[in-house]
Amino acid sequence: MPPIFLDGERLTLDEVVAIARRGARVALADEARPRLAASRAWVDELIARGTPTVYGVNTGFGVFANVSVPPDAAARLMRNLILSHCAGVGEPFPEEVARATMVIRANTLAKGFSGVRPLIVETLIEMLNRGVHPLIPSKGSVGASGDLAPLAHLALVLSRNAADRDEESGEAIFRGERMSGKRAMQLAGIPRVELQAKEGLALINGATVSAALAALAVADAENLARHADVALALSLEALCGCSAAFDARVHRAAGHRGQSETAQNVRRLIEGSRLVDSRARVQDAYAFRCAPQVIGAAREAMAYARRVVAEEINAATDNPLIFVEPAGEPQALAGGNFHGEGLALAMDLLGMAVAEIGSIAERRIFRLCNAHLSDGLPMMLIAEGGAHSGLMMAQVTAAALVSENKTLAHPDSVDSIPTSADQEDHVSMAMNAARHAREIVWNTTRILAIELMAAAQGVDLRLRALGGGVERLGRGTRVAHARLRRAIPFLERDRALTPAIERAVELMASGELLVE
């Protein structure tokens, strides 16, 4: 496979996922090199002559922005910046988050507005290609001036000073082993870099960890929405539900693209079913009848989040930005592209949208497990209730996850707390929003896994009662049911359910349940 080339302009969300999860190789695009060289040359010139005063190049940071730093202290300033900002706490992020962070930061720097040497971008790329994954603490960012503390932990692995102390090199995972950053880079054969003027600031000044979390969360949420349609269709079969609510005319009358997509998917899955519409009911409960409206609205929220993240991973997000124009003097302009408000809002919306998919799915699980609501299915979807508890606790687990999602879905973007002696007086909380959205996606994936198990169990019990086989199912649901049953056997008697839930999660991750 050819590498994915970084030019600062065309990195896609799907490429970030491929690099983060599947180890796709990365290279610096040739067209990025002249831009990197031009902005770096201006920084070198500024340091040599000592003027003008440019924030973060020959000044301190944050509240110390007006404190001048002499040219001969530029390298020490960068090293101190990285060391002082390594203040993150909490469990480190998984390797996929570190990889997504590195590629997004490398792409941001490749735009050529940051004043860094190509060496900085190339070192990040080599870390990706050779599998050095810095340990990045999961807490400690307010999302402006970007994800400073988390990114400083990444930069500590990449960089060094003359003393090059092992204990000041951070930590990394290399070939499955946790070790100092210095040792990881040595084993990988990657020289660590002595940062020059502006380079430390450029590495940490942006909401890049937030963007990495967001990219992975969006990809997983989109996959989850596709499987929500499958779970809904199987549950509809088990309940012998009504198809009228999925009629294309109903959704054309509303005009919402997302709900039309869900309804179309369900129609395709249940096509040819002899269970759906086999009862005299006029309409079903909202958990079925209004599912296209709920899942569809979530789909549209995901589309918005994808657009915001796609823009962010190709944005110049540090401060100041250096503009080297063909005509006129180069300029360093102080701005606020590091502020993660767009990501925070998008992740809050994504979290709420996915939480709603989980909420309505749990209501379908509840109906399947309740003999008073399931149109003839046995209580808790087990033939010998009393002696066996069936899916009783699986429904309780789904309820617990739904309840947790309600707390996690409280918007982070409406919160702000001043930092840096009020110099940074409004912050985005983007990383909190992205972390919470990702956790909601994790929870809701398990809720859907439980619905898939419950729906398959309900289908089998229904078919037994009717004395028929799987040919009664729709063309798509028949395939999805068969693939579920290959991995998760029918629940004849009580057994531990957690392994089955995780097998369903694995099926969703692989896409095996999706029917073309």
List Cβ neighbours of 6 (8 Å cut-off, separation of 6 or more): 26, 27, 28, 29, 32, 103, 106, 107, 110, 121, 125
Number of DSSP helices (H) and strands (E) in the chain, helices first: 18, 11
Query: Model confidence over 100-149: pLDDT tens digits?
Result: 999 999 999 999 999 999 999 999 999 999 999 999 999 999 999 899 99
137 contacts 149 by C-beta, under 8 angstroms:
yes
* Segment 469-477 mean pLDDT: 96
Nearest CA to 355 out of 406, 314, 279 is that of: 406
Cross-strand pairs, 333: 321
Judge contact between 391 and 461, C-beta under 8 A.
no
Task: Output phi, psi for 50, to 5 deg.
Answer: 85, 0
How much of the chain, in percent, has pLDDT values that exceed 70? Answer: 100
Q: What is the pLDDT of residue 347?
A: 98
Q: What is the band of 325 on the pLDDT scale with cuts at 50, 70, 90?
A: confident
CA 218 to chain centre: 5
Mention every residue, 6+ apart, whose C-beta is less than 8 A from residue 400. none
- Rounded to an integer, what distance in angstroms lies between the CA atom of residue 122 and that of residue 130? 12
pLDDT classification of 31: cutoffs 50, 70, 90? very high
256: left (phi over 0), alpha (psi -120 to 50) or beta: beta
Pair 217, 438: CB distance under 8 Å: yes
Please say if 55 is a catalytic residue: yes
Cis peptide before 145 (omega within 30 of 0): yes
DSSP 52-79: S--TTTSB--GGGTTSB--GGGHHHHHH
User: Which pLDDT belongs to residue 53?
Assistant: 85
Q: Residue 182 corresponds to which tokens in the numbers above?
A: 């210095």
Indicate if the pLDDT at residue 55 is higher than 90.
no
Mean pLDDT, to the nearest integer, of 445-469? 96
Instruction: Look at residue 515 in the predicted model and tell me its pLDDT.
Output: 85
The percent of residues in the chain predicted with pLDDT above 90, rounded, is: 90
pLDDT at 516 over 80: no
Q: Which of 42, 55, 113, 174 is catalytic?
A: 55
Name which residue leads in pLDDT, 65 or 484.
Answer: 484
Q: Could you report the per-residue pLDDT of 423-439, keeping only the tens digit for each?
A: 888 999 999 999 999 99
For 345, how many CA atoms within 13 A lie in the half-sphere containing its CB? 7
Residue 329: is its pLDDT beyond 90?
A: no
CB–CB of 28/35 below 8 Å?
Answer: no
Could you report the per-residue pLDDT of 64-74, keeping only the tens digit for each?
Answer: 888 888 888 88
Nearest to 479 by CA among 277, 262, 237, 278: 237
**215, amino acid identity:** A
Find out whether 306 and 216 touch, Cβ atoms under 8 Å: no
Contact between residue 200 and residue 137 where contact means Cβ atoms under 8 Å apart: no
Alpha-carbon distance 43 to 407, whole Å? 47
pLDDT reading at 62 higher than 80: no
The Cβ of residue 335 has, within 10 Å, a number of other Cβ atoms equal to 12
Crossing angle of the two packed helices 341-369 and 430-466, in degrees rounded to 10: 20
Quote the pLDDT of residue 390. 98
How far, in Å, CA of 168 to CA of 378, rounded? Answer: 62
Residue 6 pairs with which residues in a beta bridge? Answer: 28
Cα gap 512→516, rounded to integer Å = 10
Cα–Cα nearest to 504, from 479, 486, 478: 486
Where helices occur in 239-290 by DSSP H, the ranges are: 248-254, 257-270, 286-289
CA–CA gap between residue 178 and residue 265 (Å, rounded): 45
* Least-confidence region, from 62-71, 244-253, 271-280, 331-340: 62-71
Q: Per residue in 409-418, pLDDT tens?
A: 999 999 999 9
Name the E strands within 240-339.
Answer: 321-323, 331-333
pLDDT-derived band at 457 (thresholds 50, 70, 90) equals very high
Residue 30 CB coordination number (10 Å): 9
Q: How far, in Å, are 222, 274, 317, 454 from residue 478 at the CA level?
A: 23, 11, 49, 15
What domains are defined for the chain?
A: 4-205 (1.10.275.10), 213-326+336-416+425-510 (1.20.200.10)
For residue 18, the Cα-to-chain-centroid distance in whole angstroms is 13
> Any residues with CB less than 8 A from the CB of 427 and at least 6 apart, and which?
142, 143, 144, 339, 416, 417, 418, 419
Average pLDDT over residues 282-295: 98
Nearest 5°: CA angle at 153, between 151 and 156? Answer: 110
> How high is the pLDDT of residue 474?
98
Candidates 348, 230, 216, 234; CA nearest to 295 is: 230
Q: What's the average model confidence in pLDDT over 226-241?
A: 98
pLDDT band at 328 (very low <50, low <70, confident <90, very high): confident
Report helix, strand or coil for 264.
helix
